[in-house]
Amino acid sequence: MTNRQWLLAEHPTGMPTPETWRLHAAAAPEPGQRQILVKTTWLSLDPYMRGRISPSANYTRGVAIGELMQGGGVGEVIASNHPDWRVGDLAEAMTFGWQEYAVLTPDLPGVAQVMKIDPALAPPQAFLSWLGMPGLTAYIGLFEIGRPKPGDVLVVSAASGAVGQLVGQLGKLSGARIIGIAGSDEKLAWCRSIGFDETINYKTEPDLRGALAKLAPGGVNVFFDNTGGPIHDAVMRNLAVAARVVICGRIALANAFEQDDIGLRASSQLIVSRAMVQGMVVFDWWHRRDEAIARLSALHRDGRLQTREDVLDGFERLPEAFLRMMTGANFGKQLVRVAA
């Protein structure tokens, strides 16, 4: 059996290109003792992967040139040397990599954990999206750090994306008024259709700071920041007293990570607002996955959580899918269906 893989061809400076990766045909791997062999069915595209292909270290080890591109996926077990896993079981893990067949080690703890998917709960790809890493990010970032209260104004950037769409809806269920910021009118119309109160298109609004001040005259109580950059600056100038700021993502700066002239420019507002600013890494909260899955799947079952995916078909389209997400061409959680 041939195992197609995407290997890293270069450490990009600025926006990656399709040439950042190269296709490689290897032999399918053999599972060792207490391991399983899975056929990849879905792969997840996530902004953290941009950090992994940067030459400098992020919070974890990146991908070296010539190595298999890292990434999470789901797949079907086709051979098992582990007593708890059978052929036909569905597995989810962060350790698939961009390849058609992966050997996984179910006994590994923490983020390397392999989760057995319950197909009765949701379609398998949901475990890469609202029941997976982005779902846990929204759940923890919002409830542990943002802590919205009834009547709060909550602003979320990249509002229609995998994390943002959940933050807006969960914030609404907490009784907050939700302002979503995103880069297209179509995305924002969808956000309003799932319960966001107000929206701003950051690409067409010339005065983001002023627009926010109009929509939130009493200030922003919770800011779930998925982007950094100019959106961050505009929201920070509008913080209410005792605001909570969740620093979740920096996609607006993802290709400028190496620059050292980027900082908290509106920090005087932190004195005035006495705001709390906290960064998060979802992998610190992996032990809360079952809790998040139980809560999010119950809300989804009751029709109180809508979700949207953006699916490309075909293993060869992984670089294209990654670039779609990095440039905002995705509408909802970016996924690639590798096999039926």
Rule CB under 6 A: is residue 309 a binding residue for ligand NAP? no
Shortest gap between Cβ of 248 and ligand NAP (angstroms)? Answer: 5
Minimum separation from the CB atom of position 283 to ligand NAP (A): 7
Q: How far apart are CA 62 and CA 49, in angstroms?
A: 9
- Residues 126-165 touching ligand NAP, rule: CB under 6 A, are 134, 137, 158, 161-164
Nearer to ligand NAP, 37 or 326 (CB): 326
* Separation CA 53–CA 12 (nearest Å): 7
Residues 205-244 that bind ligand NAP (CB under 6 A): 226-227, 229, 231
Phi/psi at 237 (nearest 5 deg)?
-75, -5
**What is 244-282 written as a DSSP string?**
EEEE---GGGGGGTT-S----TTTHHHHHHT-EEEE--G
Q: One-letter amino acid identity for 298?
A: A
Q: Pick the closer one to ligand NAP by CB: 3 or 184.
A: 184
SS3 97: coil
> For residues 224, 226, 230 and 235, what is the CA-based torsion angle, rounded to 10 degrees?
0
Taking the C-alpha atoms of residue 147 and residue 126, their distance in angstroms, rounded to an integer, is 25
Can residue 328 be called a binding residue for ligand NAP (CB under 6 A)?
Answer: yes
How far is it, in rounded angstroms, from Cα 127 to Cα 315?
19
Rounded to a whole number of angstroms, the minimum distance from the CB of residue 52 to ligand NAP is 11
Q: How far is CA 34 from CA 38, 222, 294, 317, in A?
A: 13, 45, 28, 32
Nearer to ligand NAP, 2 or 60 (CB): 60
Interface map 242-281 toward ligand NAP (x if CB under 6 A) = ------xxxxx---------------------------xx
CB of 6 to ligand NAP, least distance (A): 19
Q: Name the residue type at position 316.
A: E
Residue placing its CB nearer to ligand NAP in the complex, 227 or 238: 227
Helix axes 289-301, 133-140, angle to 10 degrees: 90
Tokens of 152: 């709060």
Q: In the bound complex, what is the minimum distance in angstroms from residue 313's beta carbon to ligand NAP?
A: 18
Nearer to ligand NAP, 104 or 251 (CB): 251
Stretch that binds ligand NAP, among 41-49, 118-126, 269-277, 293-301 (CB under 6 A): 41-49
Look up residue 214 and give its DSSP letter: H
Q: Which CB atom, from 148 or from 168, has the smaller least distance to ligand NAP? A: 168
Cβ distance to ligand NAP smaller for residue 121 or 253 = 253
Contact residues toward ligand NAP (CB under 6 A) are 46-48, 134, 137, 158, 161-164, 182-184, 187, 226-227, 229, 231, 248-252, 280-282, 325, 328, 330, 333
